Structure formats: structure tokens, C-alpha cells
Amino acid sequence: MIPKERLPRHVAIIMDGNGRWAVQRGLPRYYGHKVGIESVREAVRTALDFGIEYLTLYAFSKENWRRPSEEVQMLMNIFRQVLRREVAELHRQGVKITMMGRIQDLPPDLQQEAFRSMELTKNNQRLKLYLAISYGGRAEIVDAVRKIAKLVKNGELDIEQIDEDSFRNFLYCPELPDPDLLIRTSGEERISNFLLWQIAYTELYITPTLWPDFRRNEFIAALTDYASRERRFGGVK
């Protein structure tokens, strides 16, 4: 068992490889996304079992809107189904759901489902689950700068007051601590515009496992690897 003090407080995951998983099996790409839902359930269950405080899942990037319209529509349908079917159980388990990203880009009915899930679970504390939907790290920083510029222009904020700590207050979810561990599945060695501000000192774990195959044992392997590391944050130990 991993000592609690060696566990990450916040784990972020880039869930990659659904389409490839399906294509490798001669199946439509959407089937990989559907199977990937069980990996999401497993990730949540494992985070709960290990007492992880925050889990952030990269569900749909701002750039994903460029995919074929049929695939985008299918993904929106999956999000609807997941929110309608899973939220009650997540609520029962004490999971608080927060959506982060340009939620206004989503279809109106899906926005309503998102806000309903957040309202229902807002007082839960066992696990804070953040779903990054229509999210982009650069877009988040640009949106933050726009908020700051508006306040400065209106005389409500002195530009000299802006530093790294105060800048965080203008991000989508300023209460969310920086990830301790970022997991990327499918073996791709890139960040893909995810949490660019927040991952400055995050530990990275890349696995060749495609997301539909990323289950409890894979998650535990990532936590075990993290527990063996010494974090320096730019200093020397």
C-alpha cells in the first residue's frame, strides 16, 4: 500500500487513445469512446479508494470541435448519457462535479445537464471531479487576461497588483490546486494544450496503454511511480 503522504493530492489525466483502440479492433471510433466510459468509472473509483482529493479529466478539448461533425455529435451524445446516468451515483459517493472550459460552446441542453450536475453535487467533499470540456490551456489564459484587462480599464484593478498568485484568481477554476501528477495515456509525449498554467511543476507519467484499457491496476502503477519520486520545484534536495 502506498503511504498516504506519498500520494498526489491532485491527479489530472489526458484520456487519449479511444479512437485508435476501436480502429485496432476493426470497430467504429465511437465504440472506443463508449468503452472509455468504464475507464472513467474506474479512475473515479480508484481515486476514491486512495483518498485522492482532486481528479481532473480532459474530456473534450477546444480543438476537438474540428473533428468530423458526426464524431463531435456522437461525443456530445455520450456526454449527455453520462451526465444523466452517472451523476446520481457520483452524488451518492460524495463526488463534487465541476465543469471547466468554455461551457457556453456546448449545445444548450447539454449546458443545462452540466449545470444541473454541478448544482446537485456542489456540497460534496469526498472527491472533487473536474471535467475539462471545450477546454484549452491557451484559451483559459487568454480569457483570464481579458478579465484582467477589463478590470484595469474600468479602474477596478491596479496593474501593479497582478502577480502569479493574483493571476490564478482569473483562471476558470481558481480554487483548483496545481496537479501533482499528470497522466497521459496512449504513449503520446505532448501536453495537448492542457492546464498550461497549472502544470509548471507537475510530475508527468506517460503510458502506452490506450484509454479504454486504462483501468485500476494502471492507475495504481502511476500512483506507485509518483510515490517513488522526489519533487524539487526547481530547488535542490
**Structural domain for 96, as ranges:** 9-135+180-226
Is 217 annotated as catalytic? Answer: no
Q: In what order do the strands lie in the sheet with 54-61?
A: 95-100, 127-135, 54-61, 10-14, 181-184, 203-206
Residue 205 lies in a domain: yes
Residue 147 lies in a domain: no
Q: What is the CATH number of the domain that holds 37?
A: 3.40.1180.10
Whole-prediction pTM: 0.95
Residue 175 lies in a domain: no
Is 16 annotated as catalytic? Answer: yes
3-class DSSP state of 42 = helix
3-class DSSP state of 229 = coil
Residue 168 lies in a domain: no
Query: What distance in Å separates the CA atoms of residue 30 and residue 19, rounded to the nearest whole number?
Result: 7
Residue 116 lies in a domain: yes
As for how many domains the chain has, the answer is 1
**pLDDT at residue number 231:** 82
Q: Which residues of 152-163 are buried (b: 16+ CB within 10 A; e: fewer)?
A: eeeeebeeeebe
pLDDT by 10s per residue, the chain, length 237: 899 999 999 999 999 999 999 999 999 988 999 999 999 999 999 999 999 999 999 999 999 999 999 889 999 999 999 999 999 999 999 999 999 999 999 999 999 999 999 999 999 999 999 999 999 999 999 999 999 999 999 999 999 999 999 999 999 999 999 999 999 999 999 999 999 999 999 999 999 999 999 999 999 999 999 999 988 776 655
Residue 199 lies in a domain: yes
Query: What distance in Å separates the CA atoms of residue 199 and residue 208, rounded to the nearest whole number?
Result: 21
**pLDDT at residue number 203:** 98
Instruction: Take residue 166 and report the three cell numbers written for it.
Output: 493574483
Residue 170 lies in a domain: no
Q: Evaluate whether 207 touches 183 at the Cβ level (below 8 Å).
A: yes
Query: What distance in Å separates the CA atoms of residue 97 and residue 48, rounded to the nearest whole number?
Result: 14
**pLDDT at residue number 224:** 98
Residue 144 lies in a domain: no
**pLDDT at residue number 1:** 82
Query: What distance in Å separates the CA atoms of residue 129 and residue 118, rounded to the nearest whole number?
Result: 10
**Catalytic site residue from 18, 49, 64, 109:** 64
